[in-house]
Amino acid sequence: MITTEICLKRFKDDYSFRLEESTVKQYILAVEQLITYCDKPFTKINSKEIRRWMFSLELKEYKAGSLKTKLAGVKLFFKYCIEEGLLTKDPVKNIPFPEVEDKLPSYLQSDELIQLRELVKGQIEERAVIEVLYSTGVRLMELVEIKKEDINWHERIITIPKGKRKKERIVLFTRECAEHLKAYLDVREDTLPFVFVNTTSTGSMCPRTVQLNFQTYTKKLGIHMSPHTLRHTFAAHLAKKGMPLECIQVLLGHNGPHQTQLYARLYHQARKEIYDQWM
């Protein structure tokens, strides 16, 4: 009989080529938490025990989004076990996902973006980060992994070699972004290949550094924002300028139906704002 440890390792190895590393880690953690809660091998866990585990997480005040992620990990793990012939019955197949309220993604209005740019005036690195996030719509993890060789300055495009679900895509950037990005690169003294580097110039920029900066912006401006807010802002502002939704989604690297629906709502909300200005 295969051990839980070996099974989880095989599961990780198999899905590391299909999903983001952080997602795989979250899924494995969820399965490990379930097994610890049930205190028995994964082959002996049944539906009632999984439901009780989920209820125990609710009592610990886990948010619906976190519960959904954990259940998704458990579902994928047991599906993998079925496919590999390790189980004959899926104990989690008929357990529904918790309902999660899909809030419309928040984004910055033009005047709020101006305030943000004014706030970091003179901070060359921070302004470069903001401009790349805003003009390309890349995710935070994609941002810190961009290398100098990925940039085509003449065409003003950046190749994102390992986006979500390991798919490569091309993003564009503005002349204003190019100006601030070059200004930042010109003052760099290291020879690292990364576009953005950490404070000790020994590797790529730490995502946490960017997140902390945005927490500071939120406090100083009184406007809630995160790196992902600029991704939403990118999409909303393009929508207001008339770019078709399909083109925006290609630039964002979307291919899931849930993302498509959510950003379709964002798109129509942004377009409605333009309509309201004229009526």
For the chain, give every domain's residue range.
Answer: 4-83, 110-278
Phi-psi region of 198 (alpha: psi -120 to 50; beta: other; left: phi over 0): beta
Span 147-158, pLDDT tens digits = 999 999 999 999
Fold of domain 4-83? DNA polymerase; domain 1 (1.10.150)
Average pLDDT estimate for 249-263: 72
Q: What is the pLDDT of residue 119?
A: 97
Select from 41, 217, 99 the least CA-distant residue to 225.
217
Q: Residue 164 above 60 pLDDT?
A: no
Do 110-278 and 4-83 have the same topology in CATH? no
Sign for the CA dihedral angle at 116, 120, 121, 126 comes to negative
Task: Considering only residues 274 and 225, tell me which one the structure prediction assigns the higher pLDDT.
Answer: 225
Average pLDDT, the chain: 89
At 55, the pLDDT band (50, 70, 90 cuts) reads very high
Domain spanning 110-278, CATH architecture: Orthogonal Bundle (1.10)
Run of H or E residues at 164: none
- pTM for this prediction: 0.67
Give me the active site residues, please. 139, 164, 228, 231, 254, 263
Most confident of 56-60, 123-127, 248-252: 123-127
Nearest to 79 by CA among 103, 95, 66, 59: 95
CB 69 within 8 A of CB 230: no
Top-confidence residue, 188 or 1: 188
Q: How much is the average pLDDT of 78-92?
A: 92
Q: What is the model's pLDDT at position 229?
A: 95
pLDDT of residue 64: 84
Question: What local confidence, expressed as pLDDT, does residue 244 receive?
Answer: 86
| Block residue for tokens 């706030």 | 119
- % residues pLDDT > 70 (the chain): 93
